[in-house]
Structure 1
Amino acid sequence: MVCGGFTCSKNALCSLNVVYMLVGLLLVGVAAWGKGFGIVSSIHIIGGVIAVGVFLLLIAIVGLIGAIHHHQVMLFFYMVILFIVFLFQFGVSCSCLAMNENQQLKLLNSTWELMANSTRDLESKLDCCGLLKTPQAQYEKDWAACPAECKPKGSCSTCGTLMLQHASEALRILGGVGLFFSFTEILGVWLAMRYRNQKDPAANPSAFL
């Protein structure tokens, strides 16, 4: 059965917003997982991803309600805000993919000392000791105060190695998913504009939108 233009646009817009809700939840979940592993090297970018995910989730709910009720005002604000979310999501996703290991390492070195006592918690959580084995003096200082369970065995990995591994994985997922679905948001803006300008067959036949 072939649906009419109005019904097809409505169904497509509703389906697209359900996808946006799932993408928003995915971005927030992966970003929270990344922060949970103590990825201090990319904490600002990951914070930006969480913000984008939350905004995408909220605007998708607004778009879904607007599409169901064919609400002119909600659809207008949906189009404007979704385009803004697209710009931010595109920029954040590109930043995630562009951050290489050397940049992450520099940020790790600059923030490790600022973490103070929280480094001990991180070492216990990841079962590692010290940031990296260079510089040697800093590593020996971290090793002496390390509370990790692996310390008595003398086979601890460095926290920097584990953090870089998790950071790279999280940034790849966030960047790839965010970049791919950011382009679908342009489709969402176009569909909302098309649907908003169509006449609702359930409304007064003599009324034009």
Structure 2
Amino acid sequence: MVCGGFVCTRNALSALNVLYALVSLLLIGVAAWGKWFDLVSSIRVVAGVIGVGAFLLLVAFVGLCGALKHHQVLLFFYMIILFTVFIMQFSVSCACLALNKEQQNHLLEVGWNKSEATQRDVEKTLNCCGFTSVPHNGSCAASCYEGDRPSCGPCSSTIQQTAGEVLRFVGGIGLFFSSTELLGVWLAHRFRNLKDPRSNPGAFL
């Protein structure tokens, strides 16, 4: 059977959803591992990553069931959900790639001021204190802040050096996965309109 037939399309759609399931389990596992070893102290960050992983796992389950059973309703909702995710992810990816340095700095400062747990994580990881200035009368989680004469520098310069690269990387990964989502929508639409060769030729699919 040539590729593009019923079996080939079903296998391609199933493989794509197995890939989504593996990625979702990886996200959940990495978030749980980071929290377990106290690499990330912000519960909101961990919950957000686990939530994204659980949602992706649910979408993969719906798509896989629809592909294996050739279920019209499941495939329809799978197409709608996946296309909605594609639009949002494509928009966010383009925004990440289009941000200039001034906008990046503004977003970094807003994110820094929103969560003290994130501040501690960044200070501990990058060994720096404060965003634009070192808080000499405050607290800092960095090891360089210990002792009578702290040798820490502000975190903004260190973060800004890698912010552009991280945003470009995230934008590129987002565009790649958004293309797979568009492929999933196309495969699901095609598969819905294919007749199962094992079914009654006169039956309505």
Report whether the alignment pairs 1:193 with 2:192: no
Q: Which residue of the partner structure matches residue 65 of structure 2?
A: 65
Q: Which residue of the partner structure matches residue 174 of structure 1?
A: 170
Judging by fraction of residues, say which structure has more helix. 1
Runs (5+) with no aligned partner, structure 1? 133-138
Q: Which residue of the partner structure matches residue 11 of structure 2?
A: 11
- TM-score, normalising length: structure 1: 0.71
CA separation of 1:156 and 1:21: change in aligned 2, threshold 3 A = same
Structure of greater relative contact order (alpha carbons < 8 Å, 6+ residues apart): 1
Q: Which residue of the partner structure matches residue 144 of structure 2?
A: 150
The answer on whether the counterparts of 2:41 and 2:121 sit within 8 Å (CA) in structure 1 is: no
Alpha-carbon displacement from aligned partner over 1:105-138 (angstroms, at most 9, x marks no partner): 2234456556569746753454312212xxxxxx
How many residues are paired up?
193
The answer on whether the counterparts of 1:83 and 1:189 sit within 8 Å (CA) in structure 2 is: yes
Q: Which residue of the partner structure matches residue 206 of structure 1?
A: 202
Identical-pair percentage:
56
Q: Which residue of the partner structure matches residue 91 of structure 1?
A: 91
- Greater shift, 113-122 or 152-161, is seen at 113-122
Mapping 1:105-184, distance limit 5 Å: 105-110=105-110, 112=112, 115=115, 119=119, 122-124=122-124, 126-132=126-132, 139=133, 142-147=135-140, 148-151=142-145, 152=147, 154-165=150-161, 167-184=163-180
Displacement of 1:86 in angstroms is 0.8
What secondary structure is seen at the aligned counterpart in 1 of 2:178? helix
The answer on whether the counterparts of 2:66 and 2:75 sit within 8 Å (CA) in structure 1 is: yes
Runs (5+) with no aligned partner, structure 2? none
- Aligned-residue CA RMSD (Å): 3.7
